[in-house]
Structure 1
């Protein structure tokens, strides 16, 4: 039970654990769809997606990012998204890949226009945000699916 994490109350975690065989396919299918979409968007390179996810975390934690409109970002404004920034070493550690691998993949993402380097930090561009739209749609589908499933399972 401890591997579930402190964010779940024991009664909810136990209910989910006891019902896992019944709901497993409903939990796994949206997750599979999300990863399949991510791999497709990143030309088969899951490590690139994990790198983008680590940078996205730093981006979404920035207070100014939270004030932006999705439509504006999709239209390219701002060109570089506000971010707390993150460097090669932090990215490599976050996704558990060698620093040199992270450096090469980051260079590819900069060359593609998905990231920019500002000093030691890498930041996501609106171009990257738009390119990740299929993944974001899968993530939203996953969130809604999980919400509905858990609401039904937990009787809420």
Structure 2
């Protein structure tokens, strides 16, 4: 989910469509099993099994070795989505303040 939320164009999607799962596809920054295993310290075989379950459930899509979440996963993960939305808002406000504080006078 985080890789999709970080993708260019994700913030421009209508939130009601994202939260309802009513999209054909999501913008994404793909990931793979190894990256998930490395970043979570979960054994690669465990990640592989869980990812295969998520694929069977239609929540993750595989293209070769690359993985992405499907629009269907967002409504099933409302708690996580709410946290992402809050994180995105706080991050955006922080970046705006940094830019504002570093802008040369008169800009």
- Length-normalised TM-score, structure 2: 0.70
Report deviation, 1:135. Answer: 3.7
In structure 1, the residue matched to 2:21 is: 76
Report deviation, 1:67. Answer: 1.2
CA contact (8 A) 1:61 1:83 kept: yes
Does the alignment pair 1:108 with 2:36? no
| Structure with the higher helix share, 1 or 2 | 1
Unaligned runs of at least 5 residues, structure 2:
87-107
Where 1:94 maps in the other structure, the secondary structure is: helix
Give the Cα separation in 1 of the matches to 2:61 and 2:14: 21
**Alignment counterpart, residue 92 of structure 1, candidates 37, 41, 44:** 37
CA contact (8 A) 1:82 1:123 kept: no
Report deviation, 1:99. Answer: 0.8
CA deviation vs aligned residue, 1:22-76 (integer Å, no higher than 9, x gap): xxxxxxxxxxxxxxxxxxxxxxxxxxxxxxxxxx221111112121111112343
- Length-normalised TM-score, structure 1: 0.50
- CA 130–64 in structure 1, closer or farther in 2 if over 3 Å, else same: same
**Alpha-carbon RMSD:** 2.5
CA deviation vs aligned residue, 1:74-105 (integer Å, no higher than 9, x gap): 34342332111001111110111111111000
Report deviation, 1:119. Answer: 2.1
Q: How does 1:4-43 map to 2 (within 5 A)?
A: none
CA contact (8 A) 2:20 2:74 kept: no
Q: Displaced runs of 4+ in structure 1, greater than 6 A? A: 138-141
Give the Cα separation in 2 of the matches to 1:136 and 1:105: 20
